Structure 1
Amino acid sequence: MSRTTLIISPAPTANGDLHLGHIAGPFLAADVHTRYLRATGRNVLLATGFQDTSTYVVTTARRLGMTPKALVARSAEQIETTLAAVGVGVDGFTGDEDRFVKTVLGFMEQLHAAGKFELRTMTFPYSPATGEYLVDGYARGGCPLCLADGCAGLCESCGNPIAAGDLIDPKSTMNPDDPVELREAQVLVLPMERYRGRIRAHFAEHGKAMRPHMVQAIEEMLSRPLPDYPITYPISWGIPAPFQEVAGQAINPNAEPAAWSIYCAALSAERRGMKLAADDELWLAGAGTKVVYFLGFDNTYPFAVAAVAMLLASDGRYLLPEEFITNEFYELDNSKFSTSRGHVVWGRDLVAEVPRDLVRFHLAATSPENQRTDFSRLALARVTTSRLVEPWNRVADTVDRFTGRGSLPVSERSRAAAARIIERFAACYELDCFSLTRAAETLTEQLGRLARWAVRPGEEGDFCHEVDVVLRCAAPILIDLAGAALPETRIPVGTNRMTVTPVTLPRLTPWAG
């Protein structure tokens, strides 16, 4: 059996629907890479889901005047529906089912029994008014490393973990006027420093696809001793910790990624018809699985450092993820998407208004790969019309002139051109240099070339052949056009077609905004 690639996008918090910032980040990229691998004959699974254990569920529910349970139920349906609406073909969609909780607890209990966790006294902000410790989404303040304002747990700006007790001027997010004091509590931690050398060695061998910001962050994080990573928190929200020494505490949701990823693999494999002997079969050392993460930059530490350390703590039982593709923030009118301020465009709303392929093309063309990029409706209308719709429709009009002629010959020159087209798209889709923006640029260039082609007698077959190859290479992005025009979307490794039979191609509908 050929090697399986497991592609994972971290589960969004179940505190709302997915806006374009989510879609343009990891989800579209993961979907496009998955579709490309399948089109080139490789085994691949794509997994995500939703996370209901985050404290942000509680804070958002409080702001909306809902119960956390009701918010989770509504958000879960919204997230899954929106992914389907924009064409993200997820195999395994995880939730809050008992099997997930069992997987997390089984993973944690295995490490606990092996003595990998240690009891430590840590300092946390504490609200005397509510009698609660303030962690992650419950506490807000300055990052002690980069000074940016944000919540505890992880810094969205520099990507480093932030111990709640290290926040500068911490405040309660739900009761910002309440006084806050620092108190100590004993929690279970993973002593991360034990694994720093092996994490560094892993990234020296793998991670070649990492983008510069993540490379910088990983080097910075591993250049100094790693702080202990809390496995449990002295709070009630989340999965109850089953350990006697921290009775009444919950599992830190940012400590779940390794176990959640194992569960992702099992669920995805089952839904693709694979038979597994055990839920962790695809993650076992020697399984041959290639694990790839598509994630926002702010998820670097929990997935690329803490999760790798937890997998290393299994003493060789599990393999390690090989590649990480990060993205920066996608903005709306030059400002961060903000649900609370109503500064947002929901993914499902946009594809209900604009043809889905146009949305996917524009998000690819403006993907926030290495820096923040911006969305505007005016740009969507202008870019998709000039770079996609108009040239494609001119190409389709030309093909129409040759339909009904039967089989047409394809020259050696055209076969060589097709091989180069495939190579140019592969250079965008393969992980070493993966780039949605360059894939969109390559598609624009090829459509422009074809639209300008004044087909001379004897070139009809060559023209139709190259149109077919370009559409196959564009299929991971233009899923509806390719689905309507092609009986199957396989991308050949090379091309040796001697003839082609032109068929009437569907047109794209422009969107005026």
Structure 2
Amino acid sequence: MSGTERSAGSTRPAIIIAATPTPNGDLHVGHLAGPYLAGDVYARYLRALGRPVIYTTCTDDSQTYVVATAARQAVTPQALCQRSTVAIENSLSAMGISMAGLPPIDDRYRQTVLSFVTRLYDTGRLRLRTVRLPYAERSGTYLFDGLVTGACPVCLAGSCGGTCESCGHPNSYDELLEPRSTIDPTDPVGYREQAILVLPMEDYRQRLTEYFEARADRWRPHSMQLIRELLAGSLPDIPITVPGGGWGIEAPFAETPGQILYPWIEAMPASIYSTWWAAGRQGEPQPVEVDELWRAERDAEVVYFHGFDNTYHWGLMDLTLLMAHGERYVLPESNVCNEFYDLEGSKFSTSRNHLIRGSELLAEVTRDEVRFFLALTAPEYQRTNFTRQALDEVTELRLIEPWNALAEAISLLIAGRAGGMLATTPAGRARAALVQARLRAAYELDTFSVARAAETFADQLARLRAMAEDGSAEPGDLLLEARTLLAGAAPILIDLAEQAGAAGVQLDLLAEPATEVPAFELPRLASRIESPDSPTAELLTRTPALDGAV
């Protein structure tokens, strides 16, 4: 990029993993405002630095939430997964999430999961434990995760099994208070003992403690508080197998006949598999061994993006699973965790139909508008709120109207100068360098914040518009600063940046401010998708009819 000196370590490969979406429905706006947009912005930033990046995820088909939702909808889990996976992939693509797609959950996937777990078994890392599990007496079903609901034993909030969305603490086995079946709340619930295989997290306490001491400043405070709370007490065993009723991957161990692998432990080998699959789809040489890109000697920078409610799983459980493989795998550099994004004052809820699906919003609003507003209001450190009225008003006030006014002022300013070069001043170059530095700081992992990036862009856009309209800026300075600002906003405003680049505007996030710039026009922003035949609208309709209903 124009001979710009790269920062140290900039050629290090990066693997970015967004939380694996459960295929029990399409993604809603709350999902998109969390890990998927944030991970995409970080991936695009690293690519702008010249870093090799794989940004990926895959559906977690084995989750009990698929079974519970399928039962409510009176369809098979297989049919629900098929429909939801297509919808999720279409929504990610329509949102401009720069993944290679969602990999198939096929025999190669299952073999990757089984190999990952069998290696722990063969090296003696697993233990056989007898545990007490909730049991639906009438249906004869063991209840865990999405199959059971009750009260959290730590904060008393309503919670499903596994972990509490409110406080983030795990509730293992029989710890959930007043359990009842999510599929049939009238089914009496008792308890039965079962011998299962577990990975004792306590065995890795020292290494876990050292890991978090070294990386605490890269975690957001709420998630780090939860990690410290968990490390302050006895660490739970990680279930490796559970009596699962036939949905999921069959456990291959003689000690646990008829059981399945606990769905949550698939996320780590699933991420390894997704990385391998995505490498091939990106045109890179696909490794012979699926886990090669995660090997410690490859020294990849691994970063997870997920919600606070998954802090225990992605931050502690999956980390322990990697550590249990000795020094085989690289450990994540950081977990970037978001809080909940509310819809008109309360949490998005599929069961209450209190949601706006990403596909619905993107069929009406351009994705640059959606990306800008979701970035600006991202729930990074506390819950934030989405309303459609706010999206319309804020994007018009802080993005569309000032951008188009700036573009119009620049067009008038350069009239008659097409193809000419305009000189910049030292003051203009200094301002451009400051803006570039502020935006880059918002994208660096240690200080990552899409909200701050969007806020910086909006503030600087207002400043440039005022300069253009009052005539206080040198023409060359104004063009340089506008070009620098758009280069810095390119990871968020992907379509605007693409249009400008296609028109010949140089967008280099690392370029030193130039002493002269060519005269150029800026593309205008449209506020709405005008035609139902637009590419985005067409993409969002490619969801197959549901088949396989019970």
TM-score between the two structures when normalised by the length of structure 2? 0.90
- Rounded to whole Å, the distance in 2 between the matches of 1:325 and 1:207 is 12
Aligned 8 A contact 1:419 1:494 in 2: no
Q: Which amino acid aligns with 1:497?
A: A
What's 2:260 paired with? 250
1:312 to 315, 323, 346: 323
Query: 1:489, CA displacement in angstroms?
Result: 7.1
Aligned 8 A contact 2:368 2:492 in 1: yes
What's 2:427 paired with? 413
2:491 to 467, 473, 476: 476
- Rounded to whole Å, the distance in 2 between the matches of 1:95 and 1:290 is 25
- Rounded to whole Å, the distance in 1 between the matches of 2:267 and 2:283 is 24
Q: Which amino acid aligns with 2:83?
A: R
2:514 to 497, 501, 511: 497
1:238 to 226, 239, 248: 248
Q: Secondary structure at the match of 2:465?
A: helix
Q: Which amino acid aligns with 2:449?
A: S
Instruction: Kindly indicate whether residue 140 of structure 2 is the aligned counterpart of residue 131 of structure 1.
Output: yes
Structure 1 segments of 4+ aligned residues over 4 angstroms from their partners = 454-458
What's 2:55 paired with? 46
Aligned 8 A contact 2:432 2:513 in 1: no
Q: Which deviates the most, 295-304 or 492-501? A: 492-501
Instruction: Kindly indicate whether residue 182 of structure 2 is the aligned counterpart of residue 168 of structure 1.
Output: no
What's 1:330 paired with? 341
What's 2:482 paired with? 467
* 1:270-419 equivalences in 2 (<5 Å): 270-275=280-285, 276-401=287-412, 402-405=414-417, 406-419=420-433
What's 2:122 paired with? 113
- Rounded to whole Å, the distance in 2 between the matches of 1:249 and 1:47 is 29
- Rounded to whole Å, the distance in 1 between the matches of 2:308 and 2:230 is 14
Q: Which amino acid aligns with 1:248?
A: G
Q: Secondary structure at the match of 1:16?
A: coil
Query: 1:433, CA displacement in angstroms?
Result: 1.2
Aligned 8 A contact 2:60 2:267 in 1: no
Query: 1:33, CA displacement in angstroms?
Result: 0.9
Q: Secondary structure at the match of 2:102?
A: strand
Q: Secondary structure at the match of 2:296?
A: coil
CA-based RMSD of the aligned residues comes to 1.7
**% same residue:** 47
Q: Which amino acid aligns with 2:198?
A: V
Change (3 A) 1:147 1:501: same
Aligned 8 A contact 2:22 2:63 in 1: yes
Aligned 8 A contact 1:415 1:496 in 2: yes
Query: 1:4, CA displacement in angstroms?
Result: 0.6
Q: Give the length in aligned residue pairs.
A: 513
- Rounded to whole Å, the distance in 2 between the matches of 1:142 and 1:14 is 25
The answer for unaligned runs of 5 or more in structure 2 is 1-9, 530-550
Q: Which amino acid aligns with 2:74?
A: G
- Rounded to whole Å, the distance in 1 between the matches of 2:370 and 2:382 is 20
Query: 1:267, CA displacement in angstroms?
Result: 1.5
The answer for unaligned runs of 5 or more in structure 1 is none
- Rounded to whole Å, the distance in 1 between the matches of 2:234 and 2:450 is 36
Query: 1:264, CA displacement in angstroms?
Result: 2.1
Q: Secondary structure at the match of 1:2?
A: coil
Change (3 A) 1:489 1:67: farther
Aligned 8 A contact 2:131 2:173 in 1: no
What's 1:485 paired with? 500
Q: Secondary structure at the match of 1:299?
A: helix
Aligned 8 A contact 1:475 1:489 in 2: no
Change (3 A) 1:451 1:410: same
Q: Any idea what the Cα deviations from partners look like across 1:296-346, whole Å, max 9, x if unmatched?
A: 111111111111111111111111111110011111110111122221111
Query: 1:207, CA displacement in angstroms?
Result: 4.6
Q: Which amino acid aligns with 2:441?
A: A
Q: Secondary structure at the match of 2:14?
A: strand
Aligned 8 A contact 1:136 1:164 in 2: no
Instruction: Kindly indicate whether residue 456 of structure 2 is the aligned counterpart of residue 442 of structure 1.
Output: yes
- Rounded to whole Å, the distance in 2 between the matches of 1:377 and 1:391 is 20
Q: Which amino acid aligns with 2:411?
A: D
Change (3 A) 1:415 1:296: same
Q: Which deviates the most, 201-210 or 434-443? A: 201-210
Q: Secondary structure at the match of 2:315?
A: helix
- Rounded to whole Å, the distance in 2 between the matches of 1:489 and 1:37 is 18
Query: 1:456, CA displacement in angstroms?
Result: 4.6
Instruction: Kindly indicate whether residue 522 of structure 2 is the aligned counterpart of residue 509 of structure 1.
Output: no
- Rounded to whole Å, the distance in 2 between the matches of 1:321 and 1:337 is 29
Aligned 8 A contact 1:46 1:92 in 2: no
2:440 to 403, 415, 426: 426
Q: Which deviates the most, 49-58 or 397-406? A: 397-406
What's 1:268 paired with? 278
Aligned 8 A contact 1:385 1:511 in 2: no
Q: Which deviates the most, 277-286 or 188-197? A: 277-286
Q: Which amino acid aligns with 2:484?
A: V
Q: Which amino acid aligns with 1:509?
A: A
Instruction: Kindly indicate whether residue 171 of structure 2 is the aligned counterpart of residue 154 of structure 1.
Output: no
Query: 1:237, CA displacement in angstroms?
Result: 1.4
